[in-house]
Structure 1
Amino acid sequence: MDLWQSLLACLYWAATWFLIGLFGVVLAYLCYVHYIHLKFDHIPGPPRDSFLFGHGPSLQRSMEDYKLIHDKFLEWSEKYGPVVRLNVLHRVSIIVTHPETIKEFLMSPKYPKDPYTYDLLFNLFGKRFLGRGLLTDTDHRHWYMQRRVMDPSFSHSYLVGLMDVFNEKAEHLMEKLRELSDGETPVGMHSKLNCVTLEVITTVAFGMQLNLLDGARSPFPHAISMILKGISHYVQNPYMQYLPQHRPFVKEVWDSLELLRSTGKRCIEERKRAVKNGEDVPRDILSNILKSAEQEGEYDDGLMLDNFITFFIAGQETTANLIAFVIMELTRQPEIRTKLQAEVDEVVGLKSDVTADDIGRLQYMNQVIKETLRLYPPGPGTSRWLSQEMVIEGIKVPGGVSVIFNTYIMGRMAKFFDDPLNFDPERFHPNAPKPYYCYFPFALGPRSCLGQVFAQMEAKVILSKFLQRFDFRHAPGQTYEIMDTGTLRPRDGAMCILTPRSESSKG
């Protein structure tokens, strides 16, 4: 009996000290949160929803059902000014819409990417995702090594050699669209564009032929869709993988990620083996990167695989979204569409292939694409890390904070663009004033998007052929709303009714 009493007494005191210790830890954490509030509360911002969770509940509500958190950021930026504070637990982020500060941060290599945001994407629910690839690498020296390896494969001169692939895949899409262009059948343009851009990136980057437009069953489109949904949920709640009700969803994301990484690993290993054995290999981006990587001892297969995943997703998704947004917007801009078709008729005519010279002459299309990116940037923003105190627009911002720059916000603010919600390609006429560090759909400076030339060349080829062949209108009941699944895309899939253009309408 005495033994049991002694044991119970020990357990009682152990539990007591544990609770005292836990209380002490919680109290210390709450004191630290209070200290953070005192340190940053002089910066303008909306009232916190709660002491501990800060603005988290408002941000969570703004992301439900894949809604745009960027609209909430826009609302707060217009109300509180060019420097806006956000609190979530002990973390503080600053939204900045001040052009001079954007110039300072994005054009200089001394401000690294925000490690919290980009390190979060190293894994996805505990499985390696983008790792230390180009998009997520926060070490400038290491990133610069990667960029040196990649740059030759994304130069304009190299990409001109890919025009045959752009034309071949785009032509195949036109053939499939012609079968559906009866003036009655709604066509999901975004899903079709996803297929063609995925076929392009897998062909020119990795020598893979998926034949998606021919109805070949491939797990890749669904895998990419699941990963993008996974990113959206993961950013909102990185711990959902531990909750039983989310296990089926997390498992499907894991399986999708494993499919892409195993496919990438197999592609890289087979190509390296073929090169080593002196076999003929495709002259694609993978072969080019392997050649460049020989000069960089640090560029191992793990990094190459991280970038394989980045290209596979970003190289397909964002381009498809951009083209879908152009088509969606043109359905309510008949005058702009007519002018754009006239330019295509004049430059491309009845040719089946679009040349690199044609792309250079499609000035009005270039303006339309830029205006689309202003209102509908697939990648709406980026962030940098401020390690030391800095004064921004007269406001002292302490170091140790993430600074968010958002081209979606600035593209919709009247202080930067007159009548900002009006779609007007003349904003980007060669003689119009250039936006001053308030427009950066591909980011700016040394870490601007590697694939921006690739994406725009591909988009211009597809759009040229589409405008050359079809008239189109928005399908009844479809909205012009946007959804956020890690990138911005048309919520209703840019559903259109297609009609073949007559030869007479082409002049």
Structure 2
Amino acid sequence: MIKRIFLSLSSVLIGLFTLKTIKIYLIRRRYKHLPGPKTNGIIGFYFGQYFEIVNHVSNQNLQHELHLKWSKLYGSIFKYQVLDRMTVIISNEETVKATLIDEDIPKKPIAAFPLGERFLGFGLLTETDKSKWRHRRQILNHVFKKDILLGNLNEFNSKGDILIEHLKNLCLSNGSSSSLQLFYELNRLTLDIIAKVAFDLDTNCLKKSESKLNLYITKGLEATTLEIIDPLCKFKPNKWSSITNLKESMRKLRKFSIESLTIKLNELKDTQFLGKNVLSFLIQNAKTEEDFDFERLVDDFVTFFIGGQETTANALAFCFLELGQNPEVLKKLREEIDSVLGSKKYINNDDLSKLEYTSAVFKESLRKWPPVASFSRILDEDIELLGYKIPKNTFFLMPVYVMARSEKYFPEPEEFKPERFLKNDPFSSQNRISSYTYMPFSIGPRNCIGQNFAKIEGKLILAKIIQNFDFELDPNQSFKVVQHATLRPIDGVKIFLKPRQ
């Protein structure tokens, strides 16, 4: 009896292994005409570049550095294998235009259900049904128009002033001999701003020594990255405890979102008045639909919370990491801010328009360290790119990080040169910067709806901090970068901060 069971199980396992082998063989055959890193032996056949990627990332390196290395070796279109999936990287103006604009290839919802837990679900960022996405996008476009956002300058300034006072208090309590991790202060600030401006919520994260809400968001993003980098993580016992923690954090984030939305819905139940913010428009939309889908409302709530916080905080953190290494840039930045703002506290729209070099610094930070380092798409039909036939169901990555580090598009790409983005600079005046090569907010119909929000917030907060403080990097600062879906400095940008007289 036992022998029969053993033989039956063996037959099943052999059958499954044979099917998997055939599947991988057929996949490799479909993509054999594309250049890319080679695989060696039977391990390479079944796993592709899996071990190379996992080992690279486990040594505190970015996967995008491998993409950059491979792009230099294999060109602007290549493939690599992870288990039974091929990924195609395209880093060329023509291919980016073809995939994101001409063909409008469908999005791959990577952060929807990481580790099997609902994170962004079917929110605006991850919705794949084009008709549903288009309907919600059209409704929400109005909220993120620049003139609407400028009407919230009071909130941007108010939260910025709270940050300045908070940092001054930290300087007093820590003394001149202790550094602080600026990223975590910026991370709490941007969460407070998006909560108030978009949802009329007072999270007051800056006033808390530890913000659980920030932690939940970070863990959700970490879960997304873990599943992308290591699709076998669920089968590794040493990862189980970490995965349990990540899943629990995503549940707590969703619980917070449900509770916050329920309170707001009850507040608005008996009134016809709704403000001009994201939540109001989402509720208006939901009230007019035949079926009120509360779970999708929560998805959008989480999506805007994360999109409005994480990218701006990361971009600002990289600004200070670069300014600390480039004193001449910092000197020019401070001169402009002092000239335009002087000692005034309130920054208005005219001030923002005059802060041209400040804007260039923020844009250069987004170029060198794009918070979202790549965008994913999946082909719904065969396509030809640069003479190569790409089969249906191909998983694409548009590597923003790789293109921004390409000598072809940005001379001396490793250098921090805000002048690239000044109108009178030869590089900029010759229209060398294209929306197909510089795309920190993506391009096409699925571009980032909150990019105006991020630009206003980023420039204003950068100006306020430089206006009020001198700083230098802690000599022990690491320059490594970690990916938790978005890129962030691994050390949190350790700086010595001193109020300016």
Amino acid at match of 2:132: H
- Partner residue, 2:76: 82
- Partner residue, 1:380: 373
Counterpart Cα distance in 2 of 1:283 and 1:112: 30
SS of the residue corresponding to residue 445 of structure 2 reads: helix
Amino acid at match of 1:132: F
Amino acid at match of 1:57: F
CA deviations on 1:231-276 (whole Å, 9 max, x unpaired) are 2223234554465543432332222212221221122222222222
Does the CA contact (< 8 Å) of 1:483 and 1:491 recur in 2?
yes
- Partner residue, 1:31: 22
Give 1:37 shift. 1.6
Does the CA contact (< 8 Å) of 1:109 and 1:446 recur in 2?
no
Counterpart Cα distance in 2 of 1:392 and 1:280: 51
Amino acid at match of 1:213: L
Counterpart Cα distance in 1 of 2:47 and 2:358: 46
SS of the residue corresponding to residue 51 of structure 1 reads: helix
- Partner residue, 1:476: 475
Does the CA contact (< 8 Å) of 1:322 and 1:377 recur in 2?
yes
Amino acid at match of 2:167: L
- Return the index of the structure with the highest Cα Rg: 1
* CA 297–326 in structure 1, closer or farther in 2 if over 3 Å, else same: farther
Counterpart Cα distance in 2 of 1:48 and 1:483: 27
Does the CA contact (< 8 Å) of 1:271 and 1:287 recur in 2?
no
Counterpart Cα distance in 1 of 2:394 and 2:210: 46
- Partner residue, 1:43: 34
Does the CA contact (< 8 Å) of 1:378 and 1:487 recur in 2?
yes
- Partner residue, 2:129: 139
* CA 410–241 in structure 1, closer or farther in 2 if over 3 Å, else same: same
TM superposition score normalised by structure 2:
0.92
CA deviations on 1:451-493 (whole Å, 9 max, x unpaired) are 1111111111111111111111111211322221221011211
Bigger mean CA offset, 11-20 vs 477-486: 11-20
Give 1:424 shift. 0.9
The one of 433, 436, 445 equivalent to 1:435 is 433
- Partner residue, 1:64: 58
* CA 105–298 in structure 1, closer or farther in 2 if over 3 Å, else same: farther
> Where in structure 2 are the equivalents of 1:481-496 lying within 5 Å?
481-496=480-495
Counterpart Cα distance in 1 of 2:480 and 2:154: 34
Counterpart Cα distance in 2 of 1:399 and 1:280: 48
- Partner residue, 2:150: 160
Counterpart Cα distance in 1 of 2:372 and 2:444: 16
Give 1:430 shift. 2.1
> Where in structure 2 are the equivalents of 1:343-492 lying within 5 Å?
343-431=336-424, 432=428, 433-436=431-434, 437-492=436-491
Q: Which runs of 5+ in 2 are unaligned?
A: none
Counterpart Cα distance in 2 of 1:82 and 1:124: 29
Give 1:166 shift. 0.9
The one of 269, 278, 284 equivalent to 1:276 is 269
- Partner residue, 2:46: 52
Bigger mean CA offset, 381-390 vs 155-164: 381-390
- Partner residue, 2:96: 102
Amino acid at match of 2:160: A
Counterpart Cα distance in 2 of 1:402 and 1:148: 27
Counterpart Cα distance in 2 of 1:65 and 1:275: 50
Does the CA contact (< 8 Å) of 2:376 and 2:395 recur in 1?
yes
SS of the residue corresponding to residue 107 of structure 1 reads: helix
CA deviations on 1:297-343 (whole Å, 9 max, x unpaired) are 46722111011111222221111110010011011111111111121
* CA 299–149 in structure 1, closer or farther in 2 if over 3 Å, else same: farther
Counterpart Cα distance in 2 of 1:25 and 1:238: 19
> Where in structure 2 are the equivalents of 1:228-243 lying within 5 Å?
228-238=221-231, 240-241=233-234
Give 1:108 shift. 3.8
Counterpart Cα distance in 2 of 1:238 and 1:74: 22
Amino acid at match of 1:474: L
CA deviations on 1:426-452 (whole Å, 9 max, x unpaired) are 211224124231111100011100111
- Partner residue, 2:254: 261
Bigger mean CA offset, 76-85 vs 382-391: 382-391
* CA 332–216 in structure 1, closer or farther in 2 if over 3 Å, else same: closer
CA deviations on 1:21-58 (whole Å, 9 max, x unpaired) are 43233213212211222221121001125111111111
CA deviations on 1:404-433 (whole Å, 9 max, x unpaired) are 111110111111111111111121122412
Counterpart Cα distance in 1 of 2:135 and 2:193: 26
Instruction: Verify: 1:206 aligned to 2:199, yes or no.
Output: yes
SS of the residue corresponding to residue 253 of structure 2 reads: helix
Does the CA contact (< 8 Å) of 2:205 and 2:211 recur in 1?
yes
- Partner residue, 1:126: 116
Does the CA contact (< 8 Å) of 1:367 and 1:426 recur in 2?
yes
SS of the residue corresponding to residue 442 of structure 2 reads: coil
Does the CA contact (< 8 Å) of 1:382 and 1:406 recur in 2?
yes
- Partner residue, 2:498: 499
SS of the residue corresponding to residue 254 of structure 2 reads: helix
Counterpart Cα distance in 2 of 1:207 and 1:105: 37
Instruction: Report the identity percentage.
Output: 33
* CA 138–279 in structure 1, closer or farther in 2 if over 3 Å, else same: closer
SS of the residue corresponding to residue 128 of structure 1 reads: coil
Counterpart Cα distance in 1 of 2:315 and 2:398: 20
Does the CA contact (< 8 Å) of 2:60 and 2:480 recur in 1?
no
- Partner residue, 1:4: none
Give 1:194 shift. 0.8
Q: Which runs of 5+ in 1 are unaligned?
A: 1-7, 503-507
Bigger mean CA offset, 334-343 vs 282-291: 282-291
CA deviations on 1:274-301 (whole Å, 9 max, x unpaired) are 2222287765431233224444546722
Does the CA contact (< 8 Å) of 1:82 and 1:393 recur in 2?
no
SS of the residue corresponding to residue 332 of structure 1 reads: coil
- Partner residue, 1:505: none
- Partner residue, 2:86: 92
- Partner residue, 1:249: 242
* CA 45–25 in structure 1, closer or farther in 2 if over 3 Å, else same: same
Amino acid at match of 1:334: P
